[in-house]
Amino acid sequence: MAPHPERLEIEEQIYRAVRTVKPSLAVVPMSPETRFENLGLTSLDFITVVFEIEDAYGLSIVEQRLDTFRTVAEARDLVARLLAMPGGSQQLAEETG
């Protein structure tokens, strides 16, 4: 089953965030299965990608959630869940905290 269009938009935003943080990845093909660790991102790069995603969607992905996604698809699904929640990431933080 194909992802919903909004999920495709989220994936594209994640790709843009990665390429903004590390422009050398502009020519590297990425897919939902792409693992962030395989892109050569440092820890600081990864955090900066998360900040780019947060800024794009007005979300706050709390620190303890960073280890819950390793691939573009996992990040996309987390963002989609946060966007679908009333109260967004604040509610997720309260549920997991």
Fill in the DSSP letter of residue 87.
T
> Residue 74: inside a domain, yes or no?
yes
> Residue 50: inside a domain, yes or no?
yes
CATH of residue 57's domain is 1.10.1200
Looking at the structure of the chain, the number of domains it has is 1
* Separation of alpha carbons 16 and 3, rounded Å: 18
- Encode pLDDT of 36-57 as tens digits: 999 999 989 999 999 999 999 8
Q: What angle, 0 to 180 degrees and rounded to 10, lies between the N-to-C axes of helices 72-84 and 89-96?
A: 100
Q: Quote the pTM value.
A: 0.81
* pLDDT at residue 64 in the model: 52
> Residue 29: inside a domain, yes or no?
no
Phi-psi region of 18 (alpha: psi -120 to 50; beta: other; left: phi over 0): alpha
Provide the token pair at 3: 């992802």
Low-confidence ranges of the chain (pLDDT < 50): 1, 89-97
Range of the domain at 65: 5-22+34-92
What is each CA distance from 5 to 12, 33, 65, in whole angstroms? Answer: 11, 17, 24
